[in-house]
Amino acid sequence: MKYCYANRRMTLYPNSVDPWALSPDDYTKEFLTRVKDMGFEALEMSTETLDRVGGTKETITEFTKRINGFGLDIGAIRSGGTLTEAKNGPQNVKKMEKSINYGKFCGAEVVNGAISAPSRYPGNPPGSLPASGSGWPQAQDSSKDANMWIYDHLAKIYQDACDSASDENINISVEIHQNSPIDNSWSAVYLHELVNRENFGINPDLGNVLWNYDQPEESFEDCIDNVASISKYWHCKNLQTVYHPENQRSVFIRVPLPDGEIDYRYAITSMTNSGYTGYMAIEGTSSGDQFYKDFQSINYAKGVIESLDI
With both helix axes pointing from N to C terminus, report the angle between 148-165 and 185-195 in degrees, rounded to the nearest 10: 60
> In 135-261, which residue ranges form alpha helices assigned H by DSSP?
148-165, 185-195, 206-212, 220-227
- DSSP label of 117: P
Q: Show pLDDT as tens, one digit a residue, over the chain (310 residues).
A: 999 999 999 999 999 999 999 999 999 999 999 999 999 999 999 999 999 999 999 999 999 999 999 999 999 999 999 999 999 999 999 999 999 999 999 999 999 999 999 988 766 555 555 666 889 898 999 999 999 999 999 999 999 999 999 999 999 999 999 999 999 999 999 999 999 999 999 999 999 999 999 999 999 999 999 999 999 999 999 999 999 999 888 999 999 999 999 999 999 999 999 999 999 999 999 999 999 999 999 999 999 999 997 6
Look up the CATH number of the domain holding residue 300.
3.20.20.150
Q: What is the pTM of this model?
A: 0.96
- Domain range for 127 is 2-307
Q: Give bridge partners of residue 77 from the DSSP assignment.
A: 45, 111
Distances (CA, A) of 193 to 15, 189, 197: 45, 6, 9
Query: Into how many domains does the chain fold?
Result: 1
Could you count the other beta carbons within 10 Å of the beta carbon of residue 94?
10
Q: How many CB atoms lie within 10 A of CB 283?
A: 23
Q: Which residues pair with 253 in a beta bridge?
A: 240
